[in-house]
Amino acid sequence: MSIALVILAAGKGTRMNSDIPKVLHPIAQAPMLVHAMRAGAVLSPERTVIVTGHGSEAVAKATLAEDETAQIAIQAEQLGTAHAVAQAREALQGFNGDVVVLYGDTPFLQPETLERMIEARAKNDLVILGFEAADPARYGRLVMNGQTLERIVEYKDASDKERDITLCNSGLLACDAELLFSLIDSVGNDNAAGEYYLPDVVAIARSRGLNVTAVACDEAQTLGVNSRVDLAAADAVFQARARADLLDLGVTLMAPETVYLAADTVIGRDTVIEPNVVFGPGVTVESGATIRAFSHLEGCHVSRGAIVGPYARLRPGAELAENTRVGNFVEIKNAEIAEGAKVNHLSYIGDATVGAATNIGAGTITCNYDGVMKHQTTIGQNVFVGSNTMLVAPVTIGDGAMTATGTVVTRDVEADALAVARAKQDNKPGYARKLFDMLTAKKARRDKGA
């Protein structure tokens, strides 16, 4: 059976109180829409259509960054979820098979749930995904009659008795494409919100004598995000799951609840993550590494046996080879640190390569930016960069070279050379004593006058 995904993402999300379209608000630093797309991808859809409206340009951009084959359907006016699905009709021209409707604001769906929906579809014309809500709040309620789903009633339109129902609508459904569009053609907007409700297809299908059923999953999977409170809760759910997965995979999290993960964080077995570490998007940490407390990593790769932090910042393009050391208050950006190299204290290494077994002294800075352009620093193997060296890029330090502490390197240093660029020291005997006496006398005069 061919499958097409239709993901609804046009809503404004009024309750988010935001200028950003709701579906682009991030969960674990990936737009919630991208989470929905990844969930749906398990069905290997033949087509994926994203229905956008509010902020459609930004939504289209995020969509295509995730899947360049996705189709964008514009819903210029948000007249309701049924109207939204109707906008996908053109993109699905010539498609034969089932449409699975997902919501861009329901990001936690598990593959197994979608598979169960597809199984149920084999025996039913229309399948809705429901869940038992601990607090049904404003969700639509599923009105069941045995295994048959008779209709869905929106909270706004529900009677007190219907509001007592705890089996709620997730918004997800599976139905043959042609049938779905025919059902949608019959949906009206005579309801409390004056909207075309997608859930109304249930009652319409029943009135045509079709088989409709609901598949239930646990509430965490269908968590709909409508407000910032929901967003924070969704993020917390994601974090709890991702941490548990890492623990299962053999990663040590010393204080799991303090480690903040991104949707795509990859960490290898026997790696130790100390408390209060933040992972931005695009991080891979190989096995047997240690990320010490209060470090911040983003867009970087940490190899086996490396030790990072405490208080380290790895920015995009930081590439740490095996057994490297990046210590406290060190920032690395767009730089390769080769095997066994050390950058242990208070340094900035940006737009650079650092050769194997090289030692970068405390306070070293690659001066990579001239105010207009960025420049490259190339440091060879077995180099000893003295503390407080300023490397004014573009500049190259050859293998086995050394820079003296406090040197400002403005010219290339050849292999095995020592670069010294600092004022010569001049000791003036007895001057310190004289200076102290002079200043002490001055202070005494001032205190007396006051």
* Residues recognised as catalytic: 345
Query: Could you give the CA distance from residue 288 to residue 284 in angstroms, rounded to a whole number?
Result: 12
309, interface contact from Mg ion, ligand UD1, none, CB < 5-8 Å by kind: none
The minimum distance between CB 383 and Mg ion, in angstroms, equals: 57
Which three-class secondary structure state does DSSP give residue 69?
coil
Burial of 134 (0-12, 13-18, 19+ CB in 10 A): exposed
Give the one residue of 53, 224, 280, 327 binding Mg ion; rule: CB under 5 A. 224
Smallest distance from ligand UD1 to CB 150, Å: 15
Q: Which is nearer to Mg ion, 4 or 172 (CB)?
A: 172
Q: Does 284 bind Mg ion (CB under 5 A)?
A: no
C-alpha 21, offset from chain centre: 16
CA distances from 233 to 18, 129, 284 (A): 17, 21, 26
Q: Three-state DSSP class for 348?
A: strand
Q: How far is the CB of 146 from ligand UD1 (least distance, A)?
A: 21
Question: 253 pairs with which residues across the strands?
Answer: 273
Q: Cβ 385 to Mg ion, closest distance in Å?
A: 55
In sign, the C-alpha dihedral spanning 247, 253, 256, 261 is negative
For position 21 contacting Mg ion by CB under 5 A, the verdict is: no
Residue 84 contact among Mg ion, ligand UD1, none, beta carbon within 5 to 8 Å by kind:
ligand UD1
State the binding partner of 139 from ligand UD1, Mg ion, none, CB within 5 to 8 A by kind. Answer: ligand UD1
Q: Segment near Mg ion (CB under 5 A), from 191-199, 203-211, 225-233, 286-294?
A: 225-233
**What 3-state DSSP class applies to 9?**
strand
Closest distance of CB 46 from Mg ion, Å: 27
User: Between 22 and 301, whose beta carbon lies closer to ligand UD1?
Assistant: 22
Give Cβ neighbours of residue 367 (< 8 Å, ≥ 6 apart).
390, 391, 392, 393
Who contacts 20 (Cβ-Cβ below 8 Å, separation ≥6)?
55, 58
- Cα gap 41→100, rounded to integer Å: 11
- To 5 degrees, how large is the angle CA 193–CA 198–CA 204? 105
Q: Which does residue 386 bind out of ligand UD1, Mg ion, none, counting CB within 5 to 8 angstroms by kind?
A: none
Query: Which residue, 23 or 379, is less far from ligand UD1 as judged by CB?
Result: 23
In the complex with ligand UD1, the residue whose CB is nearer, 11 or 280, is: 11
- The residue type at 378: T
Using rule CB under 5 A, residue 227 touches Mg ion: no
Q: Single out the residue of 18, 226, 376, 387 in contact with Mg ion (rule: CB under 5 A).
A: 226
H or E element, residue 438: helix 431-449
**Nearer to ligand UD1 (CB atom), residue 211 or residue 227:** 227
For ligand UD1, give the closer residue by CB, 105 or 331: 105
Where on the chain is the footprint of ligand UD1 (CB under 6 A)? Answer: 8-11, 22, 51, 75, 78-81, 83-84, 103-106, 139-140, 152, 154, 168-171, 197-199, 224, 226
